[in-house]
Amino acid sequence: CCMAGFIARWNFSIICIIINLPCIHPPFPDATGYVGFANLPNQVHRKSVKKGFEFTLMVVGESGLGKSTLINSLFLTDLYPERYIPGAAEKIERTVQIEASTVEIEERGVKLRLTVVDTPGYGDAINSQDCFKTIIQYIDNQFERYLHDESGLNRRHIVDNRVHCCFYFISPFGHGLKPLDVEFMKAIHSKVNIVPVIAKADTLTLRERDRLKRRILDEIAEHGIKIYQLPDADSDEDEEFKEQTRVLKASIPFAVIGSNQLIEVKGKKIRGRLYPWGVVEVENPEHNDFLKLRTMLVTHMQDLQEVTQDLHYENFRSERLKRAGRAVDEDVVDKDQILLQKEAEVRTHNTHMHTYTNSFSLCAKMCLC
């Protein structure tokens, strides 16, 4: 049989050579050492592309810092087509609101379900002491919702609305972080990945921008605030990726400019801002860190999701289970105390009945006498 199979394959190859066809072997190669699991990454890639990806980005900062403009510039879409902008009088009494906008983005066959969570009203009130409680409650609610879905029977189609990244916008007009900035980042740094962003960088000179960056990093370290740290490049990565990672790490906090306006410069349309003294290009790395911020978000989107899953969500989940365990223990303790009280009442009642019976018997004997 083996000889016949060898002759058949040899005749098949000879026929292919005679009629000038490529020699095609059967689809199951019998080469020594070949199993086929090298094709597993392709299978994962096909399933991931078919399923699509989900990402939730939260933007927090005072009004007027260009948060909406920057988000539209990042993803080349209009997330707020009919947005109402309140006046100054309305902002005084306005409370913090949560507005989540979801858009489906497709690029080269890859689908991304992007949810942008905006927080209008943050920092607008005169007393902003409790303005971030609504934001913290929203983040916890998404964790709670995911925990509930994960604990259910049907876990096949769980929608992940957890906040994977938070762009915190810092005003360029101050001399560092405000007390509200410090308190807010300290309140959420254990719940979400914080990426500090200096807004409206075109209002600063290059020297002022570098000075403000150093001041912000010093204050972040002084107050023990944990911001998102980019992972180090692996040793087997190419030098270009290692250099990109080094540049991105050195650019934190990112000083950015946003614009939805197209300006024609030297016969080419670019996205930027036109001033009497010149043009500021949004996608020019010499003018601002917009491209670096977008590169960081795109190249480390998977890592942001993994840190959310493995660190922030697991911390919430363990704390939630601890609270549930304590509640169960308290219920057990309460039940034990109730049983002890019941037993004590029964013993007291039996003692009283025994005393009453003895007294009655004594009285009966005395009467008989």
More confidently predicted of 85 and 4: 85
CATH code of the domain containing 131: 3.40.50.300
pTM for the whole thing? 0.74
How high is the pLDDT of residue 17? 40
pLDDT tens, residue by residue, 299-334: 899 999 999 999 999 999 988 888 877 654 555 445
Residue with tokens 């614009």: 259
By residue range, what is the domain housing residue 100? 46-256+288-298
In a domain, 7, yes or no: no
User: Which residue from 301, 367, 347 is spatially nearest to 55, judged by alpha carbons?
Assistant: 301
More confidently predicted of 96 and 198: 198
In a domain, 143, yes or no: yes
Cβ atoms of 52 and 113 within 8 Å: the answer is yes
How high is the pLDDT of residue 34? 63
Domains held by the chain: number = 1
Q: Which of 11-15, 113-117, 245-249, 259-263 has the lowest mean pLDDT?
A: 11-15
Other beta carbons within 10 Å of 49: 13
pLDDT tens, residue by residue, 77-115: 766 666 655 555 555 555 678 888 888 888 788 888 889
% of the chain residues with pLDDT over 70:
71
In a domain, 294, yes or no: yes
pLDDT tens, residue by residue, 154-188: 777 788 889 999 999 999 988 889 999 999 999 99
How high is the pLDDT of residue 120? 85
Confidence of residue 277 (pLDDT cuts 50, 70, 90): confident
More confidently predicted of 17 and 144: 144
Pairing relationship of beta strands 278-281 and 53-60 according to DSSP bridges? unpaired
In a domain, 350, yes or no: no
Other beta carbons within 10 Å of 280: 18
How high is the pLDDT of residue 305? 93
More confidently predicted of 60 and 22: 60
User: Which residue from 209, 216, 201 is spatially nearest to 70, judged by alpha carbons?
Assistant: 201
Residue with tokens 């190419």: 238
pLDDT tens, residue by residue, 24-74: 454 555 555 666 667 777 777 777 777 778 899 999 988 888 888 888 888
Give the Cα separation of 67 and 333 in Å (integer).
52
Give the Cα separation of 335 and 95 in Å (integer).
44
Q: Which of 126-130, 132-136, 243-247 has the lowest mean pLDDT?
A: 126-130
Give the Cα separation of 289 and 43 in Å (integer).
36
Confidence of residue 131 (pLDDT cuts 50, 70, 90): confident
How high is the pLDDT of residue 83? 60
In a domain, 100, yes or no: yes
How high is the pLDDT of residue 35? 64
Q: What's the full length of the chain, in residues?
A: 369
In a domain, 241, yes or no: yes
Where are the extended beta strands (E) located within the chain? Answer: 53-60, 99-107, 110-118, 165-170, 194-198, 254-255, 262-265, 268-275, 278-281
In a domain, 332, yes or no: no
Q: What is the mean pLDDT of residues 239-266?
A: 88
Report the mean per-residue pLDDT for the chain: 78
Q: Which residues contact 291 (CB under 8 A, 6 or more apart)?
A: 283, 284, 285
More confidently predicted of 217 and 159: 217
pLDDT tens, residue by residue, 220-235: 999 999 999 999 888 8
How high is the pLDDT of residue 365? 52
Cβ atoms of 296 and 174 within 8 Å: the answer is no
Give the Cα separation of 113 and 105 in Å (integer).
6
**Is the pLDDT reported for residue 13 higher than 80?**
no
Cβ atoms of 236 and 196 within 8 Å: the answer is no
In a domain, 94, yes or no: yes
How high is the pLDDT of residue 8? 42
